[in-house]
Structure 1
Amino acid sequence: MALPIEDYALVGDRGTAALIGKDGSIDWLCLPRFDSPACFAALLGSPDNGRWLLAPADLDGVTTSRTYVGNSAILETTFTTPTGVLVLRDVMPEGDGRADLVRTIRCTEGTVRVRHEWVVRFDYGRVRPWVMRQHVGGQEVIVATAGPDKLMLRGPRLPHANDGRHDDEFDVSAGEVMTFSTTWVRSWRDLPEPLPFDDRIEATRAEHEQWALHCVEDIPHAQLVRRSLLTLRLLTHAETGGIVAAPTTSLPEDFGGERNWDYRFCWLRDAALTLESLLAAGYTDEARDWRDWLLRAVAGDPEDLQIMYTVDGGRQLPERGLPHLAGYEDSLPVRIGNAAVDQRQTDVLGEVMIALEDARNAGIAETTQSWALQRSLVENLAEHWDQPDNGLWEIRGDLRHFTHSRVMVWVAFDRAVKAVEQHGLDGPVERWRTLRDQVCEEILEKGYDAERGTFTQHYDTRELDASLLNISLVGFLPGDDERMLGTIRAIEEDLMHHGFLRRYRTQTGVDGLSGGEHPFLACSFWLVSAYARAGRREDAHALMDRLCALANDVGLLSEEYDVDGDRMAGNFPQAFSHLTLVQAALALR
């Protein structure tokens, strides 16, 4: 059975990422890319679905502590056992085009009995590979091959074959160090020669530390903000510039229920919000990379714009279940792909236009192609903005006129107008101004409940939605406008659960799914920002402190938090949670 979600940590090489438990087991890894099939999938099944374990053989009486090395993505786990102390270091070296996961064990006190298991199962834990021993560079290695994939295990002591897995137990004593590595390669290619690990790992650490130096310092919870930014960087594909929403699929929002989604793709909205956070924190290179990714991904007819793409900008994300996996805590179905790719979400272009405006304001010059694309997308929106949509939360029920979606339509036209007025770009600015005013009037007429003094989730309901907090955050209304203050109060009364916000009331049936869910962390971070803009700074700081206390021991956050069970829920780590944390800290500053 997999560990609680909060007991995992993340290492990655900006091509893919691995989840490593406090027990020393790598329970999730997709190679060579975030959205590739997993070769270690115990997270969603059992150890028989693939994992890589290095840890004390007997965990009775063992205490465990973890930390990232400085401002890097190098993870160190310390096991203090009754007989000695074992330190496990995990890292995926960056920047050399290889997909290596390197694990080093070092005994610092006494003697520790170590358990080593290497269980490879390709295609999300379904396919047992053909495994054999070979020699590469004068060294014996273990090679697992199936279909297009090949994994190679190197180390000073290789585990033994044992009924479809490889395992071993051995003692390490004070001063002993052993390094193991797993390397992925296409099955038809030769096995790569060994490379020295120490130099590559040091170069990776130095690059992480240098990158972190640019982070703003005069900010609440500065260390957690820095870790959030480093996590967002890990979720950004170095070669393509695509930003994934999370490195996992099907970690449940409702334990034992059906709210299990694949987040290993690039949502335009999430990526744009990530970009806004990075720019606000002082990072500009990522903005250029993401803009270039956007241009490639959405190139073509604006009518064909999707809300999400694969890491390389691909458009095919068919959703299907994996019945051979039991699911995290029996939460079924386990899904890969995402059917929301075919939804209409009118808010997306507004987020994209905010991010691209922020890039302009940060001094990143538009190219002829980049502005032409934006202008084309805005003109297309002008023809279709009044249609109902699935909304921010990817409602799988009936299409609605969601108030948040309409606000983001206003944003798209507003930022297009500002591009002309403030940056001298060309476009039909009078038409855009007229549409902006028209959308504003409609929102205030149909999306606002004057009797209750609050905006509503959509035009045909009196229900609320935490996304309405964005009304002040995107500049549609001032944060201290009475309509905004009333909306904040109503959301507090209706959606607050033990001090944190739910997205909306699932029992109303608007999302078309069974079951419920837990407070959504991004919504509570939005409330921090809304408090700050409303002048409720004491409330903002208090909520920010409570939210930051939910991060696990290495500073990572999931999508939701089960307050009753005091545990994380949903995909992990979640870009949306980390980027809104950064935005909230900046709002408080």
Structure 2
Amino acid sequence: MPSPIEDYALLSDCRTGALVSREGDIDWLCLPRFDSPSLFGALLGDETHGRWSLRPSDPDATSQRRYIPDTFILVTRWETAGGIAEVHEFMPLHQTRTDVVRRVVGVSGSVEFDTELRLHFDYARTLPWVRQVGTPEVPALHATAGPEAVIVRGEAFVAEDHVHRATVTVQPGDTHDLVLSWFRSHERPPHPLDVEDAIARTRSWWQGWASGIEHDGPHREEVVRSLLVLRALTNKDTGGIVAAATTSLPEEFGGSRNWDYRFVWLRDTALTLEVLISHGFLAEAHHWRRWLLRAIAGEPGEVQIMYGIAGERDLAERELTSLPGYQNAGPVRIGNGAVDQYQGDVIGEVLVALEAARMAGLEEGDFSWPLQRALIGNVVDELDRPDNGIWEIRGEPQWFTHSRVMMWAALDRGVRAVREHGLPGDAAHWEEVRDALRREIDERGVDPELGCFVQHYGSHEVDASLLVLPQVGYCAADDPRMLRTVAQMEKTLIRDGFLLRYRTETGIDGLPGDEHPFLACSFWLVEQYAGSGRTEDARELMSRLLALTNDVGLLSEEYDVAAGRHAGNSPQALSHLTLIRAADALAGHIGRAADRR
């Protein structure tokens, strides 16, 4: 059985990531990218679906863990009856190879470690051909499965029924390195890794990146860790930013709300881009804009809401039978059916983020503004089309108020680009359409009796996405309609002190079951409280939210308050970027980066 979701720490090489439990189990690792098939899949089943365990032989051993400051080098300190030892784990940031390093370091006494390797390629659908290829002095295990292979160096494993076991003993000052290296099976294995050099380079890279973080407000430690998470989820080659490191971790334990988040949503990426820009990282904006140009190149009318890490378009959703799901919450899905949805807010998010980059000093290239102009044309063309909304409902499309506001924002940013930056475009027409859309939203997106914004036209329900309206400048945070909207949210969407996305019992999403509070929504509420003068409410909610981070500062998608546990995919970019925005709001930085004038 896998560990609780909050018990996992992330290792990352900015291409893929491994999840390591408090018990010393790597239960999730997809190679060589986040969206590749898993090698270790116990997270969505049990040890028979792939796991690499490393922990003291002493069953009563206890542990504490931390990241080396401003890095993703994980240090787990084990205390046993016989002594103390540490495991230092990381994924080297390398240009041409993919490795996982697990270094055992003796501190005091004598500590024996057991390690168990269960290699199950392709989402546990393929058992590899495994052979010993090293020497007694440098033992190595070579495993091949179709197009992929790994080599594990550092210990002479003994095989028993597809399980490979070994024992490592360390004394004070001893170091013992176990290194797993991935490669394509038709190629020669990569040469042995220089672990000392890899540790130094990896530490230097992460800390060098973190040294560029600009933050002058409260909760600096949490903000820095969250920015590091966003960087860890960003592919260093392509610039694509995945929404989370995992697939199919359940929003409802035992339920079917299980989705694959290892792709690049334009919305989530645009929001990530804004917080990176507002904290001093303009180079990442340039890298992502180039990714965007490649991904949506061609006919603007064919733009998708999400893409693969390198801009792939074919993300068809399918179900796996080889993995039973996290604590049997099935089905396990790879790909995501939302790729075929129309979500009217997405282009607005992209245009808002690109304006932030423009105002931060990123100059428009030969294709970047023509692309944005074409996207604005797409908004105009689709103006009369209902959509599936930010929450990707699988019920009937609706006229979602949040989506309509983000279409307004796209047009507004187009007008501002022409009027304020002198870029070419039909600002007069865009302004006319924008203003007409505002009149429509003000009339149809507000409940005539309650005086609050509504989830969609014709509804009396509220939706947490309405908290975005003041962020993009549609109205002020203390607009009477927003204040009434918040009051209605507090009445109908607060569960155990945190905010739900919407009421699932209305059937709007076309899915069975329920879900837990979505953490990004509560961080948005912190921002709203701060913007409308409810400072103490903002601080109190922020404190309760930060208490939900795990021992190494990570957040998943949702939180099960009753059980006191994380739920949904993890670590989740949207949770971390909204944490950063909430901290910024508490420091007085209200609204999107481009509107802080």
TM-score over 0.5 (shorter chain):
yes
Distance 2:572 2:502 in 1: 19
User: After the TM superposition, which residues 102-141 of structure 1 pair with which residues of structure 2 at under 5 Å, given as runs?
Assistant: 102-135=101-134, 139-141=138-140
Name the amino acid aligned to 1:165. V
Q: Equivalent residue of 1:139, what SS?
A: coil
Name the amino acid aligned to 1:536. R
Distance 1:577 1:217 in 2: 18
Contact 2:123/2:322 (8 A) holds in 1: no
Q: Equivalent residue of 2:103, what SS?
A: strand
Q: Equivalent residue of 1:454, what SS?
A: coil
Distance 1:384 1:23 in 2: 51
Q: Equivalent residue of 1:448, what SS?
A: coil
Name the amino acid aligned to 1:55. R
Give me the identity figure in percent. Answer: 53
Contact 1:136/1:191 (8 A) holds in 2: no
1:524 aligns with 2:522: yes
- From 210, 218, 221, the equivalent of 1:220 is 218
Contact 1:454/1:483 (8 A) holds in 2: yes
Report the counterpart of residue 211 of structure 1 in structure 2. Answer: 209
Name the amino acid aligned to 2:447. D
Name the amino acid aligned to 2:535. R
Query: Is 113-122 or 516-525 further displaced after alignment?
Result: 113-122
Distance 1:58 1:337 in 2: 41
Q: Equivalent residue of 1:580, what SS?
A: helix
Q: Equivalent residue of 1:11, what SS?
A: strand
* Structure 1: tracts of 5 or more residues without a match: none
Distance 2:89 2:343 in 1: 39
Q: Equivalent residue of 1:404, what SS?
A: helix
Report the counterpart of residue 24 of structure 2 in structure 1. Answer: 24
Query: Is 269-278 or 216-225 further displaced after alignment?
Result: 216-225
Deviations along 1:151-202, whole A, 9 cap, x unmatched? 00000x2211111010123433332210010000001001111131111221
Contact 1:137/1:193 (8 A) holds in 2: no
- From 444, 461, 464, the equivalent of 1:463 is 461
User: After the TM superposition, which residues 536-551 of structure 1 pair with which residues of structure 2 at under 5 Å, given as runs?
Assistant: 536-551=534-549
Shift of 1:392: 0.2
Q: Equivalent residue of 1:54, what SS?
A: strand
Report the counterpart of residue 490 of structure 1 in structure 2. Answer: 488
Shift of 1:97: 1.8
Report the counterpart of residue 144 of structure 2 in structure 1. Answer: 145
Name the amino acid aligned to 1:2. P
Distance 2:8 2:216 in 1: 29
1:47 aligns with 2:47: yes
Name the amino acid aligned to 2:30. C
Contact 1:263/1:571 (8 A) holds in 2: yes
Report the counterpart of residue 504 of structure 2 in structure 1. Answer: 506
Shift of 1:219: 1.3
Distance 2:458 2:148 in 1: 51
User: After the TM superposition, which residues 302-451 of structure 1 pair with which residues of structure 2 at under 5 Å, given as runs?
Assistant: 302-451=300-449
Shift of 1:86: 1.9
Distance 1:386 1:542 in 2: 42
Distance 1:252 1:460 in 2: 31
Distance 2:169 2:18 in 1: 26
CA RMSD of superposed structures (Å)? 1.2
Contact 1:250/1:262 (8 A) holds in 2: yes
Name the amino acid aligned to 1:29. L
Query: Is 107-116 or 71-80 further displaced after alignment?
Result: 107-116
1:201–1:136 distance in 2 versus 1, CA, 3 Å:
farther
Distance 2:301 2:210 in 1: 39
Deviations along 1:53-79, whole A, 9 cap, x unmatched? 11112332x221110001111011111
User: After the TM superposition, which residues 2-13 of structure 1 pair with which residues of structure 2 at under 5 Å, given as runs?
Assistant: 2-13=2-13
1:533 aligns with 2:531: yes
Name the amino acid aligned to 2:96. G
Contact 2:18/2:29 (8 A) holds in 1: yes
Query: Is 276-285 or 517-526 further displaced after alignment?
Result: 276-285
Contact 1:521/1:559 (8 A) holds in 2: yes
Shift of 1:138: 8.0
Report the counterpart of residue 196 of structure 2 in structure 1. Answer: 198
Contact 1:66/1:75 (8 A) holds in 2: yes
Query: Is 133-142 or 539-548 further displaced after alignment?
Result: 133-142
Contact 1:137/1:194 (8 A) holds in 2: no
Report the counterpart of residue 80 of structure 1 in structure 2. Answer: 79
Distance 1:357 1:6 in 2: 36
Distance 2:8 2:241 in 1: 21
Contact 2:250/2:568 (8 A) holds in 1: yes
Query: Is 194-203 or 335-344 further displaced after alignment?
Result: 194-203
Distance 2:168 2:9 in 1: 26
Distance 2:201 2:168 in 1: 31
Query: Is 213-222 or 186-195 further displaced after alignment?
Result: 213-222
Q: Equivalent residue of 2:556, what SS?
A: coil
Deviations along 1:220-244, whole A, 9 cap, x unmatched? 1100100000000000000000000
Contact 2:249/2:568 (8 A) holds in 1: yes
TM-score, normalisation: structure 1: 0.98
* Structure 2: tracts of 5 or more residues without a match: 588-597
Contact 1:268/1:352 (8 A) holds in 2: yes
Q: Equivalent residue of 2:387, what SS?
A: coil
Query: Is 263-272 or 84-93 further displaced after alignment?
Result: 84-93
Shift of 1:450: 2.9
Name the amino acid aligned to 2:32. P
Report the counterpart of residue 100 of structure 1 in structure 2. Answer: 99
Contact 2:524/2:582 (8 A) holds in 1: yes
Q: Equivalent residue of 1:329, what SS?
A: coil
Q: Equivalent residue of 2:139, what SS?
A: strand
Distance 1:56 1:44 in 2: 25
Query: Is 113-122 or 266-275 further displaced after alignment?
Result: 113-122
Name the amino acid aligned to 2:89. D
- From 519, 543, 564, the equivalent of 1:566 is 564
- From 160, 170, 179, the equivalent of 1:181 is 179
Shift of 1:137: 13
Name the amino acid aligned to 2:478. D
Distance 2:69 2:466 in 1: 38
